[in-house]
Amino acid sequence: MVGLDAHFEIEGDAAYRQRARLEPLGTIFSSPTGRAPTALELEAERIDAMDHRGVAGRVVEFEGSLALLIGGGGASLTVFDAVLKYGGKPANYSEIGGNPTAEKVAALTRLLLSKPGVDRLAVVMNVVNNTRADIVAQGVVEGVKQAGLRPSDVLSVFRVPGSWEEEARQILADVGVVVQGREVSLDECARLAVADGGAAAKKSRAPTGQE
Amino acid sequence: MVQGITGREASAMVQDMLDYGSRIVRGVTPGKGGQVVHGQPVYDTVAQLQRDHAATISVISVPAPAVLDAALEAFAHGIKLCLIMSERVPRLDASRIMLAASRCGCQVIGPNSLGLIRPHQAKLGTIGGRVDNVRRSFMSGSTAVLSRSGGMTTEIASFLTSHGIGQSIAIGIGGDPIVGANFSELVALLETDRTTSSVVIYGEPGGTAEEDLARMLVQCPSRLRINAFLSGRFVDDLQGVRFGHAAVIVEQGRGSVQVKKEALRQAGVFVAERFDDLLEGLSPVSAVKAGD
């Protein structure tokens, strides 16, 4: 057998074993997207690196008005597919996983909402095992407020069932947001998020409940 | 036993596993021998632990650079089932682990696996989290769940449970390109498991796990009803972008979701277009007649 061609990549996960060789080469790993990272993506990476606990990042920027704070990995893919299927325009892809701090979640929330043209945020995760739903809720509420917005205006759906979900439900009820439970599927949450989105929908919405 | 038992996440996991009823036989963290984690004594090495106990199962939760060493140590001291939770294990190490495992007759699950569970008997890993969530999400029954994503394992189980469809076993096979047990091996094992009559599979872009399963089913049709849901259809249109798990990437068409779905359909697998369609053909009957 004769090798006629090769396609190889240098594995990022093993880079720590070749630090001495790699350092003089500068940055040789392409970003996950294969193109230069956008300012939003760089900032998201910085936020995620704030703290080694959990993941609140893996942001890929798209052009759209619906910001997505989604997780874990498989659920993120599932929700993103479903949002597109229902005609939604995602502003970004992201992944929440592990146990990120409320600060990190808040910072990411504020960042996603800062993208021009974004008018809604959907927070959708699978039934969580070791992510605390209440910490995600705290972070999201804090981040929305830091962005100068009201959770009940901007959150089109919040669905993080599993560990500490009752506490999360209370945190969001306190700011006038009704959370979706595990009986509402990931697909259905995407449909709800898209149905609620858009500036046109905002104008025609009846006033929401108290905060 | 748990290798890396004194780690923050590992020790929380130990409590959840104990609460659920798993029999944990101590743990290992080099240099921390003599400590105690949730009532479980810690040893410096697997050899020392095995002098006092006869563990056959290990859960490995150590930093990625240490996984190869931990796995080889486990194989060398009587471990027959090894769940590797650690993420970002270098591929060369993963290859070495799988080679050593097959030589030692040890079954590896993972790496980058959340765990596995046989409701409601025992679980390995962090799957389901706290015991109250585990009891709510999982239910005993005859459907096996095999998933490349940890979170989706619980999501699918919870979805099935809420429709009265229980699980014989749920396994997070891990999100990495090289894993110890993939769909093919596990479906082949389930073929002769009398408590299982159907399988729900969660797949993603990247790799050939779904295609390999399809090929096996074409050669050896299964008695099991198999439903599959694949996420990441949008990744097909974004060549070369890596999303989340190390294995999720489509390069020059290879690893695309469309190809996987078609291969599975050709092999007789029901591929759900919507997540909610995963219930197709599954009936809420948990009893399995012997020989079915």
pLDDT at A206 over 50: no
| Contact assessment for residue A194 and residue A120, using Cβ atoms and an 8 Å cutoff | no
Residue A93 distance to chain B (closest CA, Å): 9
Chain segment B31-83, per-residue pLDDT in tens = 999 999 999 999 999 999 999 999 999 999 999 999 999 999 999 999 999 99
Nearest-angstrom CA–CA distance, B74 and B55: 10
pLDDT at A203 over 70: no
DSSP class of residue A118 equals: -
* Contact criterion met (CB < 8 Å) for A126 and B155: yes
- Identify which of B168, B245, B165, B166 has the alpha carbon closest to the alpha carbon of residue B203: B245
* Contact criterion met (CB < 8 Å) for A77 and B275: no
pLDDT at A192 over 60: yes
Helix (H) or strand (E) holding B118: strand B115-118
pLDDT at B130 over 50: yes
The proportion of chain A whose per-residue pLDDT surpasses 90, expressed as a percent, equals 68
* pLDDT computed for residue B89 by the predictor: 96
Residue A203 distance to chain B (closest CA, Å): 31
* pLDDT computed for residue A197 by the predictor: 55
Nearest-angstrom CA–CA distance, B240 and B247: 12
* A74 residue type, one letter: G
pLDDT at A205 over 70: no
pLDDT band of A116, cuts 50, 70, 90: very high
What average pLDDT does range A131-154 have in this prediction?
A: 96
The yes-or-no answer on residue B77 being catalytic is: no
pLDDT band of A43, cuts 50, 70, 90: very high
* A28 residue type, one letter: I
* pLDDT computed for residue B288 by the predictor: 45
| Contact assessment for residue B119 and residue B138, using Cβ atoms and an 8 Å cutoff | yes
Chain segment B157-168, per-residue pLDDT in tens = 999 999 999 999
* A197 to A12, A141, A186, A203, B173: CA distances (angstroms): 38, 19, 17, 11, 36
Place of tokens 């697909």: A187
Helix (H) or strand (E) holding B146: strand B140-147
pLDDT at A208 over 70: no
What average pLDDT does range B96-110 have in this prediction?
A: 98
pLDDT at B269 over 70: yes
CB distance from B241 to chain A under 8 Å? yes
* pLDDT computed for residue B8 by the predictor: 87
Structure tokens at B12: 């929380």
Number of DSSP helices (H) and strands (E) in chain B, helices first: 9, 14
Which residues contact residue B49 at a Cβ distance below 8 angstroms, ignoring those fewer than 6 apart? B1, B25, B26, B27, B28, B43, B55
Which residues from A are below 8 Å from B when comparing CB atoms?
11, 13-14, 16-17, 32-34, 58, 60, 71-78, 80-82, 84, 93, 95, 97, 125-130, 161-163, 182-183, 185-188
Q: Is the peptide bond before B111 cis (omega within 30 degrees of 0)?
A: yes
Residues recorded for chain B = 292
Residue in B93, B130, B231 nearest the CB of A74? B231
* B184 to A91, A140, B156, B212, B265: CA distances (angstroms): 37, 41, 19, 6, 15
Strand B27-28 and strand B40-43: pairing? parallel
Chain segment B210-262, per-residue pLDDT in tens = 999 999 999 999 999 999 999 999 998 887 787 777 777 777 777 899 999 99
* pLDDT computed for residue A207 by the predictor: 46
Helix axes A102-114, A39-49, angle to 10 degrees: 170
pLDDT at A169 over 80: yes
